[in-house]
A and B are shown apart, each in its own frame.
Chain A
Amino acid sequence: MSLKTELCGVTLNNPVMTASGTFGSGAEFSEFVDLNRLGAVVTKGVASVPWEGNPTPRVAETYGGMLNAVGLQNPGIDLFIERDIPFLTQFDTRIIVNVCGHSVPEYVEVVERLADQPVDLLEINISCPNVREGGIAFGQDARMVERITQEIKRHARQPVIMKLSPNVTDITETARAAEAGGADALSMINTLTGMKIDINRRSFVLANRTGGLSGPAIHPVAVRMVYESARAVDIPIIGMGGIRTAEDAIEMILAGATAVAVGTANFTNPGVTMEILAGIRSYMQEQQVGDIRELVGAVHE
């Protein structure tokens, strides 16, 4: 039985990876998870310079979900290259660096700094709902998505994954735009913009007022968007959004995802990625699936 999968010429030991922003660069979770057993670690977004992020409270729980407005706090690319990449290279896992910026030149700067680094893939975050410039503003306009993708592809040494926003009318438009711009893969979905109000204080729970909704509550939306996009483009898709169990992960793969990323569920159970991996294995045994790649997009029409 093989769980190996391939993304843009990069072989992953298995399709289970972490979703950006929920796992740091793996150091904190390494007490609960054997990083060698992850298909890839996707790092928290890193920018050209350190970002302080948003004021607190930055998170709020909702029914079956959570809102976050961390605002892409990050230590900047210099410290990231000095500390986080050497930490991750100790493990037998693929390294995917999530890149964020306020402007195209800022993304490009990070991409260029990573060119000679032992990084397998780049994931470009054009879909963060919690920062004013860059982020989602870039990810909601198909022409902009295509232009940014082209610009990043011109400078990137590693294959480029464009991370798409679900806060659009038709995800296939931005998916096609990224593909037209030369993206090697897509990842989806980032969080859905939400809001929570404290009725006793009559105030917003998050200091940022709005935040990104994640967790099991958004899983069906993610499955639908992965399915639609997989039919619209020919590049591989990394599926994420509310994956909590092996069943959720397999659903995403059947919808068309080549690999899956686990995010919010890491907060509910720090060792959940290992449980999901074990669950995928048992499913394959029960269903007599010899190769995980047989399942990609294998939902019956």
Chain B
Amino acid sequence: MDKGRERFEETAIIIRQEEIAEGIYSMWLHVDRIAEYARAGQFVSVYCNDGSRLLPRPISICEIDALDGAIRLVYRVAGKGTDEFSFLHTGQQLRVVGPLGNGFPQKRKKAFLIGGGIGIPPMLELARQLSCEKQIILGFRDELFLLDEFREQGKVYLATEDGSAGTKGNVLDAIRENGLSADIIYACGPRPMLGAVKGYAAERGIECWISMEERMACGIGACLACVCRSRERDAHTNVKNKRVCKDGPVFRAEEVEL
């Protein structure tokens, strides 16, 4: 069964975990083949230890250390499952399946890397892997996180809702205020942000890739829980629906309805 296999079920061991902003946790996991195969923009399914919680939590991969067999997950505590994860310490175990989804394509074009809120973490590994000219635009509600890591990868522009750092407003306000331009956009963040970024890219004819989020069950493309509306009939589903977990989470912006 291993021939051609790209997804694995592993028992991960927690290397370390810390809270990096209020309710935002950073967890380094020791994994084996998941780290070896993972690409920027992919995610993993993390299973709860509490048996009453049946569904895996899909969490994007923030950093990949293939050499040491480790991945970093940065997640927000959004419910009981992620709350359970936040109490885990070094040496404890978690069942993980991955890497899942398609990840970002990587092109040698002057790029915007746009992250909003808990959509920021997956942009870090992409920033590390892209060797072209890149401008990183991050939108926060208030408290900042992962800033030092991003600054090592390129010029960072900030937008905050309350104006406490960078541009007061959203990521597009930051782009305009700083007079930035790009030939390709990679973005991950809340639905309204993705919609605005898609519109911005369409107006200017810029190639744009967005990473989507949806409630999932199986995480591997079988159950059809996590679909998004697509412009064209999808070859697999045979309807105007794409599976976020399998065909995504990264889509060409014009492929999907927001």
Write out the residue numbers on chain A whose beta carbons fall within 8 Å of the beta carbon of B246. Answer: 28
Write out the residue numbers on chain B whose beta carbons fall within 8 Å of the beta carbon of A73. Answer: 224, 227, 237, 239, 241
Interface membership of B214, Cβ < 8 A:
yes
Interface membership of B141, Cβ < 8 A:
no
Does the CB pair A215–B222 fall under 8 Å? no
Write out the residue numbers on chain B whose beta carbons fall within 8 Å of the beta carbon of A264. Answer: 54
Does the CB pair B223–A70 fall under 8 Å? yes
Chain A interface SS verdict (over half): loop
Q: Which of B211-240 contact A (CB under 8 A)?
A: 214-228, 236-240
Q: Which of B186-215 contact A (CB under 8 A)?
A: 214-215
Does the CB pair B222–A70 fall under 8 Å? no
Interface membership of B77, Cβ < 8 A:
no
Q: Which of A22, A27, A32, A266 is the one whose CB lies under 8 Å from B9?
A: A32
Does the CB pair A57–B215 fall under 8 Å? yes
Does the CB pair A66–B221 fall under 8 Å? no
Quote the shortest CB–CB distance from B34 to chain A (angstroms). Answer: 13
Q: Which of B12-66 contact A (CB under 8 A)?
A: 47, 51-56
- Using CB atoms, name the residue of chain B closest to A71: B224
Q: Which of A40-62 contact B (CB under 8 A)?
A: 44, 50-53, 56-61
Does the CB pair A267–B56 fall under 8 Å? yes
Interface 1/0 per residue, A254-298 and B, CB below 8 Å: 000000000011111111000000000000000000000000000
Does the CB pair B97–A270 fall under 8 Å? yes
Does the CB pair B54–A57 fall under 8 Å? no
Does the CB pair B238–A50 fall under 8 Å? yes
Q: Which of A24, A52, A59, A79 is the one whose CB lies under 8 Å from B216?
A: A59
Interface membership of A91, Cβ < 8 A:
no
Quote the shortest CB–CB distance from A57 to chain B (angstroms). Answer: 4
Task: Known contacts A44-B224, A267-B218, A271-B9; decide if A64 and B239 are in contact (CB<8 Å).
Answer: no
Does the CB pair A57–B222 fall under 8 Å? no
Q: How many Cβ-Cβ contacts under 8 Å join chain A to chain B?
A: 116
Does the CB pair B52–A64 fall under 8 Å? yes
Could you say which interface size class chain A belongs to? 35 or more
The residue in B1, B55, B217, B228 that gathers the most chain A C-beta atoms within 10 A of its C-beta is B217
- Give bound CA distance, A17 to B147, whole Å: 49
Q: Which of B66-114 contact A (CB under 8 A)?
A: 81, 95, 97
Does the CB pair A268–B47 fall under 8 Å? yes
Quote the shortest CB–CB distance from A264 to chain B (angstroms). Answer: 6
Quote the shortest CB–CB distance from B104 to chain A (angstroms). Answer: 22
Write out the residue numbers on chain B whose beta carbons fall within 8 Å of the beta carbon of A27. Answer: 222
Write out the residue numbers on chain A whose beta carbons fall within 8 Å of the beta carbon of B176. Answer: none
- Using CB atoms, name the residue of chain B closest to A55: B229
Q: Which of B1, B54, B224 is the one whose CB lies under 8 Å from A31?
A: B1
The residue in B6, B215, B222 that gathers the most chain A C-beta atoms within 10 A of its C-beta is B222
Write out the residue numbers on chain A whose beta carbons fall within 8 Å of the beta carbon of B214. Answer: 56-57
Q: Which of A21, A28, A61, A271 is the one whose CB lies under 8 Å from B55?
A: A61
Task: Known contacts A31-B5, A270-B9; decide if A66 and B54 are in contact (CB<8 Å).
Answer: yes
Does the CB pair A65–B220 fall under 8 Å? no
- Using CB atoms, name the residue of chain B closest to A215: B54
- Give bound CA distance, A44 to B225, whole Å: 13
Write out the residue numbers on chain B whose beta carbons fall within 8 Å of the beta carbon of A58. Answer: 215, 224-227
Which positions in B face A, CB cutoff 8 Å? Answer: 1, 5-7, 9, 47, 51-56, 81, 95, 97, 214-228, 236-241, 246
Which positions in A face B, CB cutoff 8 Å? Answer: 21-24, 27-32, 34, 44, 50-53, 56-61, 63-66, 68, 70, 73, 75-76, 79, 215-216, 264-271
Q: Could you write out 6 A-B pairs with CB less than 8 Å apart?
A: A32-B220, A53-B227, A60-B215, A61-B54, A73-B239, A75-B237
